[in-house]
Structure 1
Amino acid sequence: MNGMTLHRTAADRAEELPGSSLEHPFGPDWEVFKVRGKVFMLMTEVPGRPVVILKSDPGEAHALREENEEITPGYHMNKKHWITLEGGDGIDTGLVKELVTESYRLVVGHLPKSEQPVDPRTYGRPA
């Protein structure tokens, strides 16, 4: 997957998520997706390379980095809880959608129950 397809796939998935909003608090070069005011995804370019930055469970983040050279610690974020995706052969549409959804679920899971737009334990998971 190339970098522009990565950005489009991630943005399309983020826009589908209940309560998701797009903001540009760091200027036009950063797209920041939030749910109820909390960031779950950032997109920008790092020296000309499109990247997507997502929240991830620390154990899962470590495993993902071990398995995919296109997944690295979160750019300008907590390296334990965030990952950065770059385009490449190890990244496909399904993985991008899954990781965006998981990032969203992690953030929603930390919101007060009354503010959660979905049940983070079941949303987006197979029945």
Structure 2
Amino acid sequence: MEYESWRGMLLSMPGAFEDFPFGEDAAVFKVAGKQGGRAKMFGLLMHRGGQLNLNLKCDPALAEQLRAANEQITPGYHMNKKHWNTVVPGLDEETMLAMIEDSYDLVVASLPAAERAALGWKGLVERG
């Protein structure tokens, strides 16, 4: 159930698409602002040890806070542990969507201005 829900949230981001560069067991969610632009990953959805995992980019300070407050969030599996979290099922939908949006925003912020404009991206949104 969570797989399809999380997949839908990831694909709902403007310009997002799904790719399988590591095989059919790992869905990589990327964004690129224009045709031919270099796509960047903002999510990795996979099963590991029979458990659904979603890797998401995160501001380092927020990543630590989220990990301390939620047992479902750990340092990113096979990722830079400072900038990526791994999430397992158990968080509410609102929290998941906020984390996905934050990951997307961090990645889109690093795209060239023309690509950000092509996505209609307005900038990072501060969350309380």
In structure 2, the residue matched to 1:121 is: 124
Deviation at 1:93, TM superposition (A): 0.6
Q: Please, what TM-score do these two structures have when normalized by structure 1? A: 0.88
Q: Which amino acid aligns with 1:55?
A: K
Q: Which amino acid aligns with 1:68?
A: N
Q: Please, what TM-score do these two structures have when normalized by structure 2? A: 0.88
Contact 1:24 1:31 in 2 (8 A): yes
After superposition, the CA RMSD in angstroms is 1.3
What does residue range 8-87 of structure 1 map to in structure 2 within 5 Å? 8-36=4-32, 37-87=39-89
> What SS does the aligned partner of 1:44 have?
strand
Count of residue pairs brought into register by the alignment: 118
In structure 2, the residue matched to 1:105 is: 105
Deviates more, 1:113-122 or 1:70-79: 113-122
Q: How far does the alpha carbon of each residue in 1:25-48 deviate from its partner, in whole angstroms, 9 at most, with x for none?
A: 000000000001100000001100
Structure 2 unmatched ranges of 5 or more: 33-38
Question: 4+ residue stretches of structure 1 with deviation over 3 A?
Answer: none
Q: How far does the alpha carbon of each residue in 1:36-84 deviate from its partner, in whole angstroms, 9 at most, with x for none?
A: 1100000001100001100000000000000001100001000000000
Deviation at 1:8, TM superposition (A): 2.0
Structure 1 unmatched ranges of 5 or more: none
> What SS does the aligned partner of 1:64 have?
helix
Structure with greater contact order relative to length (CA < 8 Å, sep ≥ 6): 1
Deviation at 1:17, TM superposition (A): 0.9
Percent identity, aligned pairs only, is 40
> What SS does the aligned partner of 2:103 have?
helix
Contact 2:106 2:124 in 1 (8 A): no
Deviation at 1:121, TM superposition (A): 2.4
